[in-house]
Structure 1
């Protein structure tokens, strides 16, 4: 009689661990009423091929345009767009706002619910000075793991309500996925809710509060990689960004760049 062959114990262990992780993720989402997405989860990524030119992304502009999404703006001249992500306030925003005002830049601040609830005066100042406040979700979850429209909508709607309470106005329909995690169903749901999903074409590692880049490290990443139509992602929690922004904007201006208003130019 032919003897049956069973998988090696290490293979079984891997299978069991994978099953446990899957079930844990499933029930976590089910408990909060969200259905896990069945779509492919993608981490936003860029590859810089040539100095002064837009990077190659892991989703093309043509693909993203189907869902009213962008990562790099069309630009006949040397126009770039400044955006900030913020989950909390740690004292750098005032310097950032002063630098933006000095250079006449209208930036976009993608804020989470915590920021809207704890810093209403700064949010109002952003709006009063002509900046756009976009939606970075209420609780900053991995949105690519949410597969039902109602749970997706709630993450955006709670911010809309907080914004209207502060400003008395409707929140601009710009959405940036936390950590750049997305899948096609997310893009579709955002579009159905009237949002434009905004990724980025220029960024650097500036978000570790206790491991900030030096000024020179920041310039080494942000100056040679700038390109026409760039959507620049910075974090307003970065001490380095608060310190260098005035000089950084000056350097870009010296290279012939001007600064566009993202929300206005997407209309």
Structure 2
């Protein structure tokens, strides 16, 4: 009997840790169940199959982290091979037209470090429009900056309320609330509807999370360039940042930058100047989506 209780507890604990937000029913324990082989192995197989089941409502729940296959300037970048089918199926975008010198600037905004006003000044100087993916606390703490973004023609887009890993949320209403909360706060501050573009926190996604996102009317924006710019205490030098960004800029690049980066704020003017010299134009998310349709 002691073994039975221990096994039940193991099933419950594993289900709580491995599959948050999902209810798993433990197998019913019969009083005469024998845990000798082969009955024991059959029971353990059932437990393993239940815990490792990656299907919910017919959608794969295996979590993934977005990455891109950077091939330099000459070749088109590739999406993750294991989820490449998800990109067209669930309205995901990560690159524009590889035959045209158009690139797309996007910034993730988890909190304000004091550099966004400078970034906006530089964008205004170059008449460039960017997309800022914001969480709800950012809108609450920096409403004037958000209003300025909208007023100057930038896209202020959804990055969730709490910056959670969205593949961990199985419940559709909980998932929806993470996006709805940002929309409502944005409208409260600006009086405008938020553009229906979404960036998953930390680039984490699953087929289920992409399905929910599409069902809510959103398009998921990934990227074809990113670098280690988010650690405020370990910033790359301007020289290092310029070299890395410019050497990996390609036709159709969707750049992911973080606005908490002092280096990004300091180097943006030089980047835009160089891109202009090379004949690049800064496109909008609407233009990115229109090209892919």
**Pick from 141, 146, 150: which aligns with 1:123?**
146
What's the CA shift for 1:23?
A: 2.3
Provide closer, same or farther for how the CA distance between residues 248 and 17 of structure 1 changes in structure 2, counting only shifts above 3 A: farther
State whether structure 2 residue 94 is matched by structure 1 residue 71: yes
Deviates more, 1:121-130 or 1:64-73: 64-73
Aligned twin of 2:265: 242
* Post-superposition offset of 1:264: 4.6
1:254 aligns with 2:277: yes
Compared CA separation, residues 17 and 243, structure 1 to 2 (3 A): farther
Residue 169 of structure 1 is matched in structure 2 by 192
Of the three residues 60, 67, 84, the one matched with 1:45 is 67
Seen in structure 2, the aligned counterparts of structure 1 residues 17 and 206 have a Cα distance that, compared at 3 Å, is farther
Q: What is the TM-score of this pair, normalised by structure 2?
A: 0.78
- 5+ residue gaps, structure 1: 1-15
Would you identify which runs of 4 or more consecutive aligned residues in structure 1 move more than 6 Å?
16-19
- Cα distance change of structure 1 residues 150 and 264 upon mapping to structure 2, 3 Å threshold: same
Runs (5+) with no aligned partner, structure 2: 1-8, 24-53
Preserved CA contact (<8 Å) 2:73 2:251: no
C-alpha deviation, 1:119, in angstroms: 0.5
CA distance in 2 between counterparts of 1:143 and 1:259 reads: 29
CA contact (8 A) 2:96 2:253 kept: yes
Distance of aligned partners of 1:48 and 1:18 in 2 relative to their CA distance in 1, 3 Å threshold: farther
- The answer (yes or no) to whether the contact 1:175–1:196 under 8 Å persists in 2 is yes
TM-score of the aligned structures, taking structure 1 as reference length: 0.86
- State the alpha-carbon separation in 2 of the partners of residues 70 and 177 from structure 1: 12
- After TM superposition, list the pairs within 5 Å mapping 1:197-212 onto structure 2: 197-212=220-235
**RMSD over aligned Cα, in angstroms?**
2.3
Is 2:112 the counterpart of 1:89? yes
Structure 1 residue 114 displacement after superposition: 1.1
Offset of residue 97 of structure 1: 0.3
Q: Which has the larger radius of gyration?
A: 2
1:19, distance to aligned residue in structure 2 (A): 7.9
Report the more deviating stretch, 63-72 or 151-160: 63-72
Offset at residue 76 of structure 1 (A): 3.9
2:16 equivalent in structure 1: 23
Q: Give distance in 1, aligned partners of 2:75 and 2:269.
A: 23
3-state SS of paired residue (1:46): coil
CA distance in 2, matches of 1:66, 1:257: 29
- 8 Å CA contact 2:72–2:249 kept in 1: the answer is no
Paired residue total: 247
Structure 2 contact 72–247 (Cα < 8 Å) conserved:
no
CA distance in 1, matches of 2:172, 2:85: 24
Residues in 2 aligned to 1:242 and 1:78: alpha-carbon distance in whole angstroms = 23
1:53–1:228 contact (8 Å) kept in structure 2: no
SS of equivalent residue, structure 1 residue 45 = coil
TM-superposed deviation, 1:53: 3.2
Question: Which of residues 253, 256, 277 is equivalent to 1:230?
Answer: 253
2:116 and 2:91 map into 1 onto residues whose CA distance is 29
* Deviation of 1:82 (Å): 0.3
